[in-house]
Amino acid sequence: MQEDRRSKPTNFIEEIVEEDLRTSKYEGRVHTRFPPEPNGYLHIGHAKAICIDFGIALKYNGLCNLRFDDTNPTREEQQYIDSIKEDIRWLGFDWKDREYYASDYYGQLYDWAIDLIKKGKAYVDDLSAEQIREYRGTLTAPGRDSPFRSRTIEENLELFTRMRKGEFPDGSKVLRAKIDMSAGNMNMRDPVMYRILRATHHRTGDEWCIYPTYDWAHGQSDSIEGITHSLCSLEFEDHRPLYDWFLDNLGVHHPQQIEFSRLNLSYTITSTRKLRKLVEEGFVKGWDDPRMPTLAGMRRRGYPPESIRNFCEGIGVAKAESVIEIAKLEHFVRDYMNRNAPRVMGVLRPLKVVIDNYPEGKTEELDAVNNPEDESMGTRKVPFSRVLYIEQDDFREEPPPKYYRLAPGREVRLRYAYFVKCVDVKKNKDGKAVELRCTYDPKTRGGDSPDGRKVKATLHWVSAPDAIDAGVRLYDRLFTRGAPDEVDGEGKDFRANVNPRSLEVLSGCKLEPSLSTARVGSRYQFERLGYFCVDPESTERSLVFNRTVSLRDTWAKIEKAQRG
């Protein structure tokens, strides 16, 4: 009955879920989970998974758990747990009180391991890691049975119990599932379930010296939590037979694993391991560096969570491997910001302008629209005076073709203010323009000429005596190649493709005074320049802005084409 009102499935996973709902496969329940390993910060790839896991639950009136897949104490840390929770909440999802840990289930997992041993389906193996590898065979050649494969149930029970008690050194024994050493699927060649590892776990401390592997922990955790649909990425596809094997041989609740293709973004890396390298080797300043594709970095950069969600919805869910163009992400950011970010004027690279015929000491308060896309955002006053700043790039002594902005003898509009005409240029020794002298037309107040005279350009500006100083950080893509893992030379890796000009730090930028109350995290459109966000490094005395993304820039394209 409810189904009728539901929108059509938008991807193959929703189709499966709806089919399961129709056939009451899980008594009409939908219960998913997001299972991050707390070994790094969440990135845009995780965002896709989060949107799918939580999104499916939301759409079908189900639940989505947060479960930390913490089975490897050597690389997991509490700080990552904290950041992951913060980032999921920021993205806009809520797991309520369903915060779980695979380590919560160590006891149950141990009991189930005993169960499998008793069923003759698991055994303790004394082979070394290297020997196990040799015995496993290759992709094309079958493996061989370990000499310890035929131990009696009693012996296995005793050995495994002693493993748990800490009677054997690290790495000396493992517990393996007894499946099929000749299976075409390598995962079925007697996979390891437990390894001996004396490491302090961030939650269980030193309680355990044996730790379950992913394969042994994951499906069983899903089962314990009553998960119905266990969604994961493609590389786990050939783990599914093992996932099924454990659950079937245990005879417990059996969720369905469904795999989808993970997100790849051009000019971006989405590998926790590689991102950690960028952090640890100082290519960026931290996990939350605004150039990082981490949620923390994107948040600091100014990406609205809504835009990331819209992006994830916009790219779809499928099994084909793909690389999404970064332009698509930027589109969703601009789309959201255009509708929501208040407009403001700021000059990044100031060029002084003196209005010769404007009275000295006079200041006017001009009306400016806060957002032309949303009248309800109202208007504000912007001060105008005789001395102003405009953008250096908005003046050319010798304007190229199609350049509409200011040049000697040219008239342009100052947004919300007056038409001004350039009458003189003062230059320094190097011939660089350092000050413009202009005249204004008092009859054009507000920006319209009563005689119907047109100008081709409208410039943003800031009143010099009223301006506040700020620092601005401009970001470019972190990598110079669309596919950062593609490298020319031998022995090189993605690090060779890091863009040395990914960060440009500007100081002495001039902003309109209304920004003096801007709070950390606030997002604005600097008219004609782009969207900017107040960085946490801002202080009361000095604001720092991050450019989230530039505006679409038609002139830049024309100019680029002109240069050839």
Partner RNA sequence: UGGGGCGUCGUCUAGUGGCAGGACACAGGAUUUUGGAUCCUGGCGCGGAGGUUCGACUCCUCCCGCCCCAGCCA
- Binders of RNA among 377-416, rule CB under 7 A? 402-405, 413, 415-416
Q: Is 43 left (phi over 0), alpha (psi -120 to 50) or beta?
A: beta
Q: Which stretch binds RNA (CB under 7 A): 9-17, 55-63, 431-439, 495-503?
A: 9-17
Residues 415-434 binding RNA (CB under 7 A) are 415-416
- Show the CA angle centred on residue 318, arms to residues 323 and 7, nearest 5°: 125
Residue number, 361 or 564, with CB nearest to RNA: 564
Q: Write down the least CB distance from residue 234 to RNA, Å.
A: 6
* 317 near RNA, rule: CB under 7 A: yes
Q: Where on the phi/psi map is residue 268: left (φ > 0), alpha (ψ -120 to 50), or beta?
A: beta
235 makes contact with RNA (CB under 7 A): yes
**What is the distance between the alpha carbons of residues 414 and 390, in angstroms, rounded to a whole number?**
9
Share of the chain residues as helix, strand and coil, in percent rounded to the nearest 5: 35, 25, 40
Burial of 271 (0-12, 13-18, 19+ CB in 10 A): middle
Residue 427 vs 557, nearer CB to RNA? 557
Residue 408 per-residue DSSP state: T
Query: Where does 23-94 have alpha helices with state H?
Result: 44-59, 78-91
Q: For residue 300, which phi and psi values (nearest 5 degrees)?
A: -65, -35
Per the CB < 8 A criterion, the answer to whether 193 and 242 are in contact is no
Interface characters, 462-501, with RNA (x: CB under 7 A): ----------------------------------------
Name the one residue in this structure whose structure tokens are 């042994």: 216
Beta pairing partners, 344: 526
Q: Which is nearer to RNA, 127 or 351 (CB)?
A: 127
Between 289 and 330, name the residue whose CB sits nearer to RNA: 330
Using the 8-state DSSP alphabet, how is residue 121 labeled?
Answer: -
Find the shortest distance in angstroms from Cβ 285 to RNA. 26
Single out the residue of 121, 229, 239, 386 in contact with RNA (rule: CB under 7 A). 239
Residue 273 CB, shortest distance to RNA, in Å, is 8
Which residues does residue 510 pair with via DSSP β-bridges, in sequence order? 347, 469
Q: Using CB under 7 A, pick the residue from 447, 471, 483, 513 that binds RNA.
A: 447
| Torsional sign, CA 442, 444, 445, 450 | positive
Q: Which of 47, 324, 351, 534 binds RNA (CB under 7 A)?
A: 324
Q: Residue 16 or residue 58: which is nearer to RNA going by CB?
A: 16
Name which position in 97, 139, 451, 491 contacts RNA (CB under 7 A): 139
Least Cβ distance, residue 378 to RNA (angstroms): 14
Specify whether the CB–CB gap between 390 and 406 falls below 8 A.
yes
Among 167, 206, 207, 325, binds RNA (CB under 7 A): 325
Length reported for the chain: 564
- As measured in angstroms, the least distance from the Cβ of 434 to RNA is 21
User: Is the CB of 196 or the CB of 278 nearer to RNA?
Assistant: 196
Q: Which is nearer to RNA, 310 or 546 (CB)?
A: 310
Q: Between residues 265 and 470, which has the closer beta carbon with respect to RNA?
A: 265
The binder of RNA chosen from 127, 275, 279, 470 (CB under 7 A)? 127
Q: Please say which residue, 289 or 418, places its beta carbon nearer to RNA.
A: 418
Q: Which of 158, 335, 435, 441 binds RNA (CB under 7 A)?
A: 335
Closest separation between CB of residue 509 and RNA, Å?
A: 16
Q: Which is nearer to RNA, 90 or 404 (CB)?
A: 404
CB of 472 to RNA, least distance (A): 16
Binders in 255-274 for RNA, by CB under 7 A: 261
Of 144, 328, 352, 481, which lies in the binding site for RNA, with binding defined by CB under 7 A?
328
Stretch that binds RNA, among 250-258, 357-365, 368-376, 470-478 (CB under 7 A): 368-376
Judged by CB, which is closer to RNA: 119, or 552?
552
Show contacts with RNA in window 53-82 (CB under 7 A).
69, 71-72, 75
- How far from the centroid of its chain's Cα atoms is residue 364's Cα? 44
Residue environment code for 105-124, b if the CB has 16+ CB neighbours within 10 A, otherwise e: bbeebbebbbebbeeebbbb
| One residue of 152, 322, 507, 516 binding RNA per CB under 7 A | 322
Q: Tell whether residue 140 is a contact of RNA (CB under 7 A).
A: yes
Using CB under 7 A as the binding criterion, the count of chain residues that bind RNA stands at 92
What is the DSSP pairing of strand 31-34 with strand 63-68?
A: parallel
193 vs 470, which CB is nearer to RNA?
193
Alpha carbon distances (Å) from 35 to 148, 225, 228, 288, 555: 34, 12, 14, 21, 46
Beta strands (DSSP E) in 89-245 are 99-101, 122-125, 174-177, 192-196, 210-212, 229-233
**Residue written as tokens 């413009």?**
436
- C-alpha dist (Å) from residue 479 to 31, 312, 332, 483, 500: 38, 22, 21, 8, 8
Rounded distance, CA 301 to CA 267, Å? 16
Q: For residues 172 and 516, which CB has a smaller minimum distance to RNA in the complex?
A: 172
Tokens of 469: 């100083």
Name the residue nearer to RNA (CB basis): 330 or 411.
330
Among 29, 59, 214, 392, binds RNA (CB under 7 A): 214
Return the number of other C-beta atoms located less than 10 Å from residue 57's C-beta: 23
Q: Decide if 548 contacts 530 (C-beta within 8 A).
A: yes
**Residues between 164 and 183 with contacts to RNA, criterion CB under 7 A:** 171-174
Contact status: 213 vs RNA (CB under 7 A) = yes
Residue 199 sits in the site that holds RNA (CB under 7 A): no
SS3 state at 205: strand
Given 32, 83, 187, 268, the residue binding RNA (CB under 7 A):
187
552 makes contact with RNA (CB under 7 A) = yes
Of 18, 37, 86, 435, the residue at the interface with RNA (CB under 7 A) is: 37
